[in-house]
Amino acid sequence: MEFKSEENIFYENKDMMRNRGIFSDCPIGWGGLVRQLFKDIRAACKKHNSPLPIVLQIKSKFGRLCFYLEREWIIGESPVAIEVNSLIRDAEDKSMTICEITGLPGSYYIKDGWYATLNKNKAHDLGYMKVENISPR
């Protein structure tokens, strides 16, 4: 799914992105989660008087949000890099509790080897089976 409108998360945060086309795999149900993550990253950078990171990609992988930054932010040991990476990990973990289609509370499901975080009704409609005993990491 894709955010189509110019009044969207990616447009609002274009100063943190090089190429808006790389976000076409970000499910719309995680829009609120991603929007809050951008706000939290901005606040952390402001607190540490640090430049904003560049976001390389946002997508769903195995039914979980994946939020990728430029390499120096991933391996950085500065206080801001540590805080931003923690914010990202928390959002990625939280994505496994939010339906990637509807934004409602969700659980982890599988269908034909494809994982998704869905609410019960959406999973049923799409023919997914619940995955039991899954941990965020």
pLDDT for 59-75, tens place per residue?
Answer: 889 999 999 888 777 67
Mean pLDDT in residue range 91-111: 96
Residue 1 confidence (pLDDT) above 80: no
pLDDT for 3-56, tens place per residue?
Answer: 444 456 767 777 887 665 555 577 889 989 999 999 999 999 999 999 999 888
Q: Give the pLDDT band (50/70/90) at residue 88.
A: very high
Closest to 85 in 3D by CA, of 75, 93, 94, 95:
75
Residue 53 carries which DSSP code?
P
Which pLDDT score is estimated for 57? 86
Task: Report which of residues 57 and 42 the model is more confident about.
Answer: 42
Which helix (H) or strand (E) segment is 111 a member of?
strand 107-111
Mean pLDDT in residue range 112-136: 90
What's the chain's average pLDDT? 86
Residues 118 and 1: their CA atoms lie apart, in Å, by: 14
